[in-house]
Amino acid sequence: MDKDGAVPAGGAVMSAEAPEETGLATLAEAEALVLSGSRNVVFADRLVQQVVLCQRLPADEAGRNYRMAAATEALKELAPRNAMEGMLAGQMVAAHNIGLGLMRQALRDGRPMKDIEAFLRQGTRTLALFTRQMELMTRQRGRQRRSLRIAHEQVRDDGRVSVTAEQERVQ
């Protein structure tokens, strides 16, 4: 993606920063499916970039690579099954990292009490958001399409069976 947000002609999505600056590479289709729940490589690549860039990355390359790998592995562990779950998983990883980062900021030495309280309040809100997202993911995965057919059968005196009503309900 260039500075105006356009995707280059080759279809590879890049962050506003040069790829060598972020250390992000274009994904293969199989890895895209594992990370985002979608076979769309562009979508998965952008999702990973967004998640990685939602955290503070250290200046040193080793630390930056470690945090990028951790965020990517967190997406894999959430194992999204479709694009919607992939986007929710990305939000969950970002919210978790941001929430814990705010808590860490609150514990820095020498902060005035009002700053500590502000960081703790924001961290708590962000982690509560993460919890709601986790519950949503759990509910979403529990919703599988199940059909239930209800047929009212009557056996007549002559031994014949007739169906008088039939419904189909989706749970």
Q: HSE (CB half, 13 Å, CA atoms) of 93?
A: 30
Q: How far apart are CA 108 and CA 102, in angstroms?
A: 10
* Residues whose CB is less than 8 angstroms from the CB of residue 39 and which lie 6 or more positions away in sequence, other chains included: 29, 32, 33
Average pLDDT over residues 149-171: 64
Could you read off the pLDDT of 96-137 as tens digits, one per residue? 999 999 999 999 989 999 999 999 999 999 999 999 999 999
Query: Does residue 4 form part of some domain?
Result: no
Looking at per-residue confidence, does 29 or 81 come out higher? 81
Query: Does residue 136 form part of some domain?
Result: yes
| Helix 61-78 with 29-36: angle, nearest 10 deg | 70
Average pLDDT over residues 154-163: 73
Query: Does residue 38 form part of some domain?
Result: yes
Q: Is 51 in a helix, a strand, or coil?
A: helix
Domain hosting 109: range is 19-170
* % of the chain surpassing 90 pLDDT: 55
pLDDT at 141 over 90: no
Q: Is 159 exposed, middle or buried (0-12, 13-18, 19+ CB in 10 A)?
A: exposed
pLDDT band per the 50, 70, 90 thresholds, residue 70: very high
Q: Is 162 in a helix, a strand, or coil?
A: strand
pLDDT of 32 reads 87
Its pTM stands at 0.67
Query: Does residue 9 form part of some domain?
Result: no
pLDDT band per the 50, 70, 90 thresholds, residue 61: very high
Could you read off the pLDDT of 2-29 as tens digits, one per residue? 444 333 333 333 344 444 444 455 568 8
Query: Does residue 10 form part of some domain?
Result: no
Looking at per-residue confidence, does 141 or 148 come out higher? 141
Average pLDDT over residues 52-62: 92
Average pLDDT over residues 52-56: 91
What is the phi/psi pair of residue 149, to 5°?
-100, 130
Q: How far apart are CA 1 and CA 12, in angstroms?
A: 8
Query: Does residue 101 form part of some domain?
Result: yes
Query: Does residue 149 form part of some domain?
Result: yes
Give the total number of structural domains in the chain. Answer: 1
